[in-house]
Chain A
Amino acid sequence: MGGKVSCTLGEVKNRADFIVYWGGNPAECHPRHFTKYTLTQKGKFIPNGRKDRTMVLVDIRETPSAKAADIFLQVRPSKDFEVITTLRALIKGQPVARDMVAETGLTLDQLQDLAERMKRARFGVLFFGMGLSMTRGKHMNSAAILTLAAELNAFTKFVAMPMRGHGNVTGGDVIMRWTTGYPFGVNLARGYPRFNPGEFSTVDLLIRGDCDAALIVGADPGATMPQPAIDHLARIPTIVLDPKLTHTSRLARVHITTAVTGISAPGTVYRMDEIPLPLRPALKSPYPTDEEVLRRIHMAVAARSRPAPPVVWPGPVAV
């Protein structure tokens, strides 16, 4: 696992002639990805747009995105890691057993063809979604696909990019990296940052019952997390900042309504390729912004944490 070979979506638009979507359904989840950035646009070195590009979709089922693809590869659920590892071997010309490939739901010929096409591409991109990064193998799958992209650079230009879901989840990674040195799951309890996914990641922390208070901002774990994690949120004092009363608000001790990011709250948001973009809110909210409320909580905590006035030694006692 060593870093991510990536680029901006502008480079994809202007250069990419081979586009792979792995474990994602952009047609329904990122509807403008094809038309604004990747597939149909004409680019500086892609004069004919869609005709100059090849698209491959790898997924466990035929989603609406398959219609846009030139090649659809249906992989058996939770066999992505095996497929990626096989591709890495094929690209290097190593022998691969036919019957082992059959377990993945694909044939050796299909993978050989994909490996050849990847090596022949002028500029290839691997977009990977949560179908890869949140199924069996999880971060090992992400690491494998990033390694595949890196290794392909021995033959041609190849990059990888995660298809990020929520609006500014990329910004969260960037801001945490900038301020703490790590992208997520950072423990600051000792006064310096420590990073250990599995130990300091939220679901694990909650299921083990390690934390004794929670501040939830711009998320609704009460609707999305495993039940034992939600149970722990209900046990401890939970504070929610959200534009709506969420599932988490209902089990929280404190809820504060805030303005909606991008609609009535201004600021900066990162696109999935880590390009920061300014927001242009169209409405004025009657509620304060998350930023403002967080700053006020910060000030209120700081006021409580102020050390007690020093005890003055009255001087030597006369005897």
Chain B
Amino acid sequence: MELTVVKNATCTFCGCVCDDIELHADHRRIVHTKAACVLGASWFKNHTAERLYPEALIDGREATVDEAVEAAAHYLHDAALPLVYGLSNITCEAQREAISLAELIGGVVDSHTSL
């Protein structure tokens, strides 16, 4: 099977953010990495494009993303002091959205830095 090769891919496992990784992938998973360290290689190989988990859960039951988004909005809108936490394993673009949401709901926004 034809593998797609991605050159100079960026690894986001640790704070080194090495941007010289070569990835060989079929449409489902990354099968080979070049230049990545042991941690990076297992990071790339352990995440696949398969549908392994339900797209959303509400109270442990499977739900659609639309329903889950509505439920999330309901809880966050009703809260007096909601907390937005994490932000470490997401992109800067997503971080910006998270902070903007925290502003809208009047909450606290915090990351792993505070630990």
Contact = CB atoms under 8 A, between A and B. Distances in A.
Contacts of A30: 14-16
B90 to A, nearest CB: 4
Contacts of B17: 167-168, 269-272, 277
B79 A211 contact: yes
Contacts of B81: 189, 210-212
A196 to B, nearest CB: 10
B1 to A, nearest CB: 15
A76 interface: no
A284 B99 contact: no
A252 B59 CA distance: 7
B49 A291 contact: no
Interface residues of B, number: 88
9 interchain residue pairs of minimum CB distance:
A267-B91, A219-B86, A167-B12, A164-B15, A300-B73, A213-B79, A218-B89, A31-B37, A201-B114
26 contacts: A164-B15, A167-B11, A168-B87, A171-B91, A179-B96, A184-B113, A202-B115, A203-B114, A211-B108, A213-B82, A215-B72, A217-B86, A221-B86, A239-B76, A254-B56, A262-B12, A271-B16, A277-B17, A284-B49, A288-B65, A289-B94, A290-B90, A290-B91, A298-B100, A300-B70, A303-B73
Interface of B: 4, 6, 8-20, 23, 25, 27-30, 37-40, 43-44, 47-51, 53-59, 65, 68-115
Given A37-B16, A186-B109, A249-B57, 14 more contacts: A33-B16, A166-B112, A168-B95, A171-B87, A176-B111, A191-B106, A202-B108, A213-B82, A213-B83, A215-B76, A256-B69, A257-B53, A263-B44, A304-B74
